[in-house]
Chains A and B, each alone.
Chain A
């Protein structure tokens, strides 16, 4: 069975493991290895890196032999929209306060869904802001400003 490498499930998984293992090993080279009697901080990560890279190579080979494909479509759009909205939230929290941050997070993440409606999303944003303020500020007493305008930093 022929499967393009970019759609080969286990080849991709193995490649990812190989990359993480090799990357971890490379970074851990700068930590002292120590000896078996006196393990240094580099001992454990370097060993794990080698093991993980090994598993990665085995998985890649098995992928080439089985040719299993990745099931279904990749959801790149919802993935990008959700992570972007979380990053936006994190950044906004330090600059405009809790309420606008939560509202933006709600709106942008709702946009990632299939059935996005402006009215509903706006209503949800208002409701979520209220709930977040009630639970996290009034309930748990977290020290965040509700609204702020602070772009000096």
Chain B
């Protein structure tokens, strides 16, 4: 019962009054900001991140995890009430949740989302507790070649699963990798792409990139678009779902949890994939699939459970391998690095209180989330009515002051504005930002491991295919790419022959 004694250690850390308070504060702030329309979990976390920098590593990670859950749940609330999901993963919840709200069943929809998230959160956290150490032990055998191939696989995943064009997503990954190069080269000490700017010697700050890419460009997109949104937050009463509701959602919640936990553990697979497949599965299994899209309560429970389960199991690759699964995890990883912790297999043995404290605080955070959200649902609902013309200047103020405070320097604010412009142009050209940010975070690690692998193999690239684990990772990436490319080629050829026949 190694896990139990470790969990006890974890609870010892998480249940100190101080850390409990930080967890609560994190959940509260995360929900508060995350519930605002047009503010997704990523932006919420990027904005609140500077607040956690002053704390000690354990407290900061615990508060961060709290913010993370709060933001996630807040996003679902907005999706249900305003149909303005801040992130793709809650877009699936919005399909049936918003319809339920239109039918005056906003209360049960919100409660179902909360209960499904809670159940999924508890189950998947236990999975993290059991499988995290196993993965960590396995990863101790990884050398530079394995790390390189694994990260490559994560990047391929993120590009393949991003919505839209594959070539453009791959190009975004490479753009991100180049952005990650900015700063001093670890091996030679040579500053690269820094153009003599002292602030760039440490690289472009990740909050600068995240806020510019997601918050600034998102605001411009929203401002350039018009059209009022119907909000259904006035009739949030009768919160509790009926027995029939609970019975109808139990199995979907569990199935969603299983799917989400699996997908979340794969690097590069975002929670949106998990929630979307959970939704499709329920639609397949339902006796009358027609109800979906018209306010089916299973359509809220399953994706919410999957979304939340994936959000937790993302911590497995992030903490044990040091490889962030998603853009949000990239932020968490960046925050850890700022605290002087290098996530990886060693974290489990050198800093057990960190890993187990986090696992325990995930459990505590989920309980707090439920306690906070069920009674306060009416308050959160009213917050979604805040008009956007008040919101976006406020977001910009927080983003700017936060970025300024990173180095007490205006350069970071200028950079953020510049990246915002770039992000807006990318968004208009339908290039997905998520692969870029993953590339940006993995870039330095990818280069370092490539360098090391080639140094040890004396310059021979065969090292990546002669080592079995590395070969598997590369084979999976290649198979994924082929699976994406082949149908397109076939379709292209079919179109070409059609054209020639027609012409």
Contacts and interface: CB of A to CB of B under 8 A. Distances in A.
Nearest to A55: B171
Interface stretch (B255-263, B324-332, B362-370, B397-405): B397-405
A87 interface: yes
Interface in B174-188: 174-175, 177-178, 181, 185, 187-188
Contacts of B458: 37
Interface string B150-186: 0000000000000001011011001101100100010
A9 B174 contact: no
A143 B226 CA distance: 40
Contacts of A41: 185, 187-188, 190, 192
A114 B181 contact: no
A88 B268 CA distance: 37
B459 A37 contact: yes
Given A109-B396, A142-B405, A10 B51 contact: no
Contacts of A55: 167-168, 170-171, 174
A151 to B, nearest CB: 15
A124 B396 CA distance: 13
B143 interface: no
Residue with the highest number of chain B CB atoms closer than 10 Å, among A36, A56, A90: A90
Interface string B385-423: 000111011101110110011001011111011101100
Nearest to B171: A55
A52 B393 contact: no
A16 B410 contact: no
Could you say which of A82, A85, A136 has the most chain B C-beta atoms within 10 Å of its C-beta?
A: A82
A81 B14 CA distance: 45
Interface residues of B, number: 66
B413 A86 contact: yes
A101 to B, nearest CB: 9
A91 B410 contact: yes
A32 B178 contact: no
Contacts of A48: 174, 177-178, 181
A135 B401 CA distance: 10
A7 B220 CA distance: 19
A58 interface: yes
A52 B410 contact: no
Contact of A114 (B168, B193, B223, B413): B223
Interface string A124-153: 100010011001100011110000000000
B232 interface: no
A114 B188 contact: no
Nearest to A94: B410
A13 B429 CA distance: 6
Interface stretch (B15-23, B95-103, B124-132, B449-457): B449-457
Contacts of A36: 454, 459, 461
Contacts of A59: 165, 167-168, 171
A112 interface: yes
Given A9-B429, A82-B420, A136-B405, A124 B220 contact: no
Contact of A89 (B192, B216, B220, B413): B413
Contacts of A9: 429-430
Contacts of A12: 429
B224 interface: yes
A3 interface: no
Given A102-B401, A106-B397, A128-B397, A70 B429 contact: yes
B429 A38 contact: no
Contacts of B225: 72
A124 B390 contact: yes
A109 B392 contact: yes
B223 A112 contact: yes
Nearest to A111: B393
B221 interface: yes
B401 A132 contact: yes
B484 interface: no
Contacts of A45: 178, 181, 192-193
A30 B410 CA distance: 28
Contacts of B404: 89-90, 93
Contact of A93 (B174, B190, B410): B410
B240 interface: no
B447 interface: yes
B64 interface: no
A146 B287 CA distance: 63
A31 B416 CA distance: 26
Contacts of A136: 401, 405
Contacts of B392: 109, 113
B431 interface: yes
A144 to B, nearest CB: 8
A51 B171 CA distance: 8
B223 A58 contact: no
B188 to A, nearest CB: 5
Among A27, A48, A51, A71, residue most surrounded by chain B Cβ atoms (within 10 Å):
A48
B73 to A, nearest CB: 22
Interface string B422-437: 0011101111000000
Contact of B400 (A71, A90, A94, A114): A90
15 contacts: A16-B425, A16-B426, A17-B175, A44-B447, A52-B175, A78-B224, A79-B420, A83-B417, A86-B216, A87-B417, A91-B410, A93-B410, A105-B397, A114-B389, A128-B394
Closest 8 CB pairs of A and B: A75-B224, A90-B410, A90-B413, A37-B459, A55-B171, A36-B459, A13-B429, A78-B223
Interface of B: 50-51, 54, 165, 167-168, 170-171, 174-175, 177-178, 181, 185, 187-188, 190, 192-193, 216, 219-221, 223-226, 388-390, 392-394, 396-398, 400-401, 404-405, 408, 410-414, 416-418, 420-421, 424-426, 428-431, 447, 450-451, 454-455, 458-459, 461
Given A41-B192, A87-B413, 11 more contacts: A13-B168, A17-B175, A51-B174, A58-B167, A75-B220, A75-B224, A75-B424, A82-B220, A83-B216, A86-B416, A90-B413
